[in-house]
Amino acid sequence: MRARVGNVLRMEWAGMARTPSSLLFLVGVPLLLIGQALFLSWVLPRFVNPELIGVTAPGGGGLDPTDAFRLLILGQFGFFVLLIPAMIANVFATLSIVEEKTSGTLEPLLATPVRTAELLLGKILSGAIPALLVAWASTGLFLALASLLGWSPLFPYVLTATWYITLFLLMPAVSLLSFVVGVIGSSRARDAKGAQNLAVLVVLPIFALIVVQVTGLIWFTPLSTAILSAALILVDAVLLRVAVHLFARESIVIRWR
Amino acid sequence: MIRAEGLTRRFGDRIAVEGLTFVARPGEILGLLGPNGAGKTTTIRMLAGIIAPSFGSASVLGLDPARVPERVHERIGLLTEAPGFYERLTARRNLTYFAGFYPGLQVERAVDEQLRIMGLSDRAGDNVGTFSKGMKQRLALARTLVHEPEVLFLDEPTAGLDPEAARDLRGLIVRLKGEGRTILLSTHNLTEAEALCDRIAVFRTRLVALDTPQALRERQFAPLVRVRVENLTDALVSAVAGEPFVREAGRDAGEPGTLLVRLEKADRDRPVLVSRLVALGAEILEVREDRRTLEDVYLSLVREDEA
């Protein structure tokens, strides 16, 4: 099984490397999100009266109002960066099966001894792994740029246990989830657009996570973040089985034209 | 060996294939001949374990493609109607990918070997997107053969190819048969079917006829022999007409001095007819057989089925 999953992985990566638009997207989306986060962290505390916000991030109580406001924004980056795998999946995963069908490679592929689970796992990991690496690299770049802007004194309040759990547990879980949902969409929808509509469903809860924190409704503690991550890992495992079950070889070969 | 037993496939209310029963013997090329929408591709997909039959059963090399498709896939090769490839990747990369799914295969060696056989070694490092249709078809055949399958399903292998590329591909198919592989060949091309196939299944949702091209011809049209005779008489015509192997005999109204004889079986009866005529004192100038083409046979069978 590992050899066949690896075979799919290598092929997908070879295809990605040969497609300049894919590479541009992999680099462009994170840069855009980092730029946006840095811009908001810089501009909002200058033009918005922090005292009007009325929400303070944990640990920000002793800081001056501008720094406390900036901390509130910087602290969201851990969740904000979850959008990277979700958005990358929205493009790559949703095309994964649709493209095989439109290029006529799916039927020859299904005539090999590859099992559905091997094919789908290869497709999911081929996107989820680079998306995760890009998201981690983006986090590093964000911190480096924030440090250049002189915000490093806030790092002890930002780089908390919740931040690390988000980075190393929640983010892999969200990456997998995004790609599993994208591949399910790709194997059920008749075209990429239909698949993308389904994959958007992953992006919305991430926005919700950011909104509930910014508005101070819920603050994620290390425990709640770990529980959320564990729940998502479980959901990933279940959805992977569902994806295999929903991958109707016959229907894809016969009905898609 | 390929065996189909009452193989039926429905898509909703529409019947694509109905009650198909046949056996393709080891080392044989069996042609599937039929009009568009006759169910040829559906039949191949069922036998290759891509889709399941609604009713009936199939067996390929003793395995049921509906129950153990992966085990069947290890031992068969399927050439699909459209030779789909990852066009931005090289021919070698494409073949390596597909070969990588077969257990125990020495991928690099198998890929090199197939590229060499198909005459594509020089272009192995080029993107498939730059290939002509003929080259893509050869690459598709290389993909079909990379794991040395015992049974091949070839769906319209020469469709859309120029005459030279089609001839080359037919040569390859003959070579594959020579290697002892069982081949199920779906085609529209009647000349190709006659040249390549040991037996032909004329097919129109259900099986209309299955036999060798010659037997199909004889079944539909009794062999007609024209004999130009120097001294043709009515007595000679009557004597020939009375022979047991002759269905019908008479003068050719359009060609004086020519005797028309309809035989039971061409190869068996033609020499007997000639010796009989000689014995009857006929001075034979020329003997020729009016051969019906496979197209005549096919159209006749299809019309008969329609009726």
The pLDDT of residue B2 is: 94
A54 vs A202, residue with greater confidence: A202
A143 touches chain B (CB under 8 A): no
Half-sphere exposure of B268 (CA within 13 A, CB side): 10
- Highest averaged pLDDT of the listed ranges A61-70, A87-96, A218-227, B101-110: B101-110
The answer to whether A29 and A87 are in contact (CB under 8 A) is yes
Q: DSSP assignment of B159-180, as one string?
A: TT--HHHHHHHHHHHHHHHHTT
The pLDDT of residue A57 is: 65
Distance CA B150, CA A180 (A): 37
Topology, domain B2-217? Rossmann fold (3.40.50)
The pLDDT of residue A54 is: 61
- Interval A238-252 mean pLDDT: 87
The answer to whether residue A210 scores a pLDDT higher than 80 is no
B11 touches chain A (CB under 8 A): yes
The pLDDT of residue B59 is: 96
Distance CA B100, CA A8 (A): 9
Q: How far is CA A93 from CA A87, A136, B128, in A?
A: 10, 19, 23
A160 vs B8, residue with greater confidence: B8
Provide the pLDDT confidence category of residue B162 given band limits of 50, 70 and 90.
confident
Size of interface A-B (CB pairs under 8 A): 76
A112 vs A36, residue with greater confidence: A112
Provide the pLDDT confidence category of residue A61 given band limits of 50, 70 and 90.
low
Q: Closest-CA residue in chain A for B143?
A: A108
Beta-carbon separation of A253 and B52 below 8 A: no
The amino acid that residue B108 corresponds to is E
Distance CA A173, CA A234 (A): 9
A112 touches chain B (CB under 8 A): yes
Task: Tell me the per-residue pLDDT of A6-22, one tens digit each, with 9 for 90 and over.
Answer: 999 999 999 888 888 88
- Interval A62-69 mean pLDDT: 77
B12 touches chain A (CB under 8 A): no
The answer to whether A228 and A220 are in contact (CB under 8 A) is yes
A20 touches chain B (CB under 8 A): no
Task: Tell me the per-residue pLDDT of B79-129, one tens digit each, with 9 for 90 and over.
Answer: 998 889 999 999 999 999 999 999 999 999 999 999 999 999 999 999 999
Candidates A4, A23, A107: best to mutate against B (most CBs of B within 10 A) is A107
The pLDDT of residue B285 is: 92
Provide the pLDDT confidence category of residue A52 given band limits of 50, 70 and 90.
low
Beta-carbon separation of B101 and A4 below 8 A: yes
The amino acid that residue A128 corresponds to is A
The answer to whether B7 and B17 are in contact (CB under 8 A) is yes
Tokens of B113: 């070997």
The pLDDT of residue B29 is: 96
| Cα four-point dihedral sign B164, B168, B170, B174 | positive
The pLDDT of residue B211 is: 92
Provide the pLDDT confidence category of residue A90 given band limits of 50, 70 and 90.
confident
Mean pLDDT, chain B, integer: 91
Q: Cα torsion at A136, A142, A145, A146 (round to 10°)?
A: -130
A101 vs A169, residue with greater confidence: A169
The pLDDT of residue B217 is: 82
- DSSP letter for B49, please: T
The pLDDT of residue B165 is: 82
The answer to whether A112 and B101 are in contact (CB under 8 A) is yes
A140 CB neighbour count, 10 Å cutoff: 9
The answer to whether residue A83 scores a pLDDT higher than 90 is no
Nearest to B220 by CA among B272, B274, B293: B293
- Interval B291-300 mean pLDDT: 80
From the list A11, A106, A110, which residue is nearest B97 (CB)?
Answer: A11
A104 touches chain B (CB under 8 A): yes
Which residues in chain A are contacts of B82 at CB distance < 8 A? Answer: 104
Beta-carbon separation of A105 and B71 below 8 A: no
Write phi, then psi, for A136 (nearest 5 degrees).
Answer: -65, -45
The answer to whether residue A67 scores a pLDDT higher than 90 is no
The pLDDT of residue A214 is: 67
Q: What is the pTM of this model?
A: 0.83
Domain layout of chain B by residue ranges: 2-217, 222-291
The pLDDT of residue A17 is: 86
Q: Closest-CA residue in chain A for B77?
A: A111
The pLDDT of residue A53 is: 62
Min distance A78 CA to chain B CA atoms (Å): 36
The pLDDT of residue B185 is: 95
The pLDDT of residue A51 is: 66
Min distance B141 CA to chain A CA atoms (Å): 11
B75 touches chain A (CB under 8 A): no
B52 touches chain A (CB under 8 A): yes
Beta-carbon separation of B76 and A250 below 8 A: no
3-state DSSP assignment of residue B114: helix
Distance CA A252, CA B131 (A): 27
Task: Tell me the per-residue pLDDT of B44-72, one tens digit each, with 9 for 90 and over.
Answer: 999 999 999 999 999 999 999 999 999 99
Tokens of A152: 């490093």
Beta-carbon separation of B84 and A105 below 8 A: yes
Candidates A18, A105, A126, A244: best to mutate against B (most CBs of B within 10 A) is A105
Task: Tell me the per-residue pLDDT of B186-214, one tens digit each, with 9 for 90 and over.
Answer: 988 888 888 899 999 998 898 999 999 88
Task: Tell me the per-residue pLDDT of B205-243, one tens digit each, with 9 for 90 and over.
Answer: 989 999 998 888 877 777 788 999 998 899 999 998 898
Min distance B10 CA to chain A CA atoms (Å): 12
A125 vs A207, residue with greater confidence: A125
Tokens of B220: 């539909």
The answer to whether residue A249 scores a pLDDT higher than 90 is no
Half-sphere exposure of B179 (CA within 13 A, CB side): 14
Provide the pLDDT confidence category of residue B19 given band limits of 50, 70 and 90.
very high
Tokens of A19: 């497609």
Q: How far apart are the first and last CA of chain B?
A: 33
B108 touches chain A (CB under 8 A): no
3-state DSSP assignment of residue A139: helix
Name residues whose C-beta falls within 8 Å of residue B207's C-beta, 6 or more positions apart in sequence. Answer: B19, B20, B21, B22, B201
Nearest to B282 by CA among B224, B240, B225, B223: B240
Q: How far is CA B57 from CA A31, A66, A204, B2, B65, in A?
A: 57, 75, 48, 11, 9
From the list A3, A10, A15, which residue is nearest B86 (CB)?
Answer: A15
The amino acid that residue B87 corresponds to is E
The pLDDT of residue B192 is: 87
Which residues in chain A are contacts of B70 at CB distance < 8 A? Answer: 113-115
B68 touches chain A (CB under 8 A): no
Give every strand in the sheet of B199-204, ordered side by side. Answer: B76-79, B151-155, B182-187, B29-33, B199-204, B206-211
Burial class (CB in 10 A: 0-12, 13-18, 19+), B67: exposed
Q: CATH number of the domain at B222-291, please?
A: 3.30.70.100
Distance CA A235, CA B207 (A): 50
Min distance A102 CA to chain B CA atoms (Å): 9
From the list B11, B78, B88, which residue is nearest A111 (CB)?
Answer: B78
Candidates B98, B126, B128: best to mutate against A (most CBs of A within 10 A) is B98
Half-sphere exposure of B195 (CA within 13 A, CB side): 14
Which residues in chain B are contacts of A113 at CB distance < 8 A? Answer: 70-71, 73-74, 101-103
Tell me if domain B2-217 and domain B222-291 are identical in fold. no
The pLDDT of residue B58 is: 96
Using left for φ > 0, alpha for ψ between -120 and 50, and beta otherwise, residue A220 falls in beta
Task: Tell me the per-residue pLDDT of B29-48, one tens digit each, with 9 for 90 and over.
Answer: 999 998 888 899 999 999 99
The answer to whether B208 and B216 are in contact (CB under 8 A) is no
A16 touches chain B (CB under 8 A): no
Q: How far apart are the first and last CA of chain A?
A: 30
Write phi, then psi, for B76 (nearest 5 degrees).
Answer: -120, 165
The answer to whether residue B296 scores a pLDDT higher than 60 is yes
Beta-carbon separation of B70 and A113 below 8 A: yes
Tokens of A129: 């792994």
Which residues in chain A are contacts of B86 at CB distance < 8 A? Answer: 11, 15, 103, 105
Q: Closest-CA residue in chain B for A13?
A: B89
Name residues whose C-beta falls within 8 Å of residue B76's C-beta, 6 or more positions apart in sequence. Answer: A111, B48, B49, B60, B61, B149, B150, B151, B152, B153
The answer to whether B43 and B73 are in contact (CB under 8 A) is no
A11 touches chain B (CB under 8 A): yes
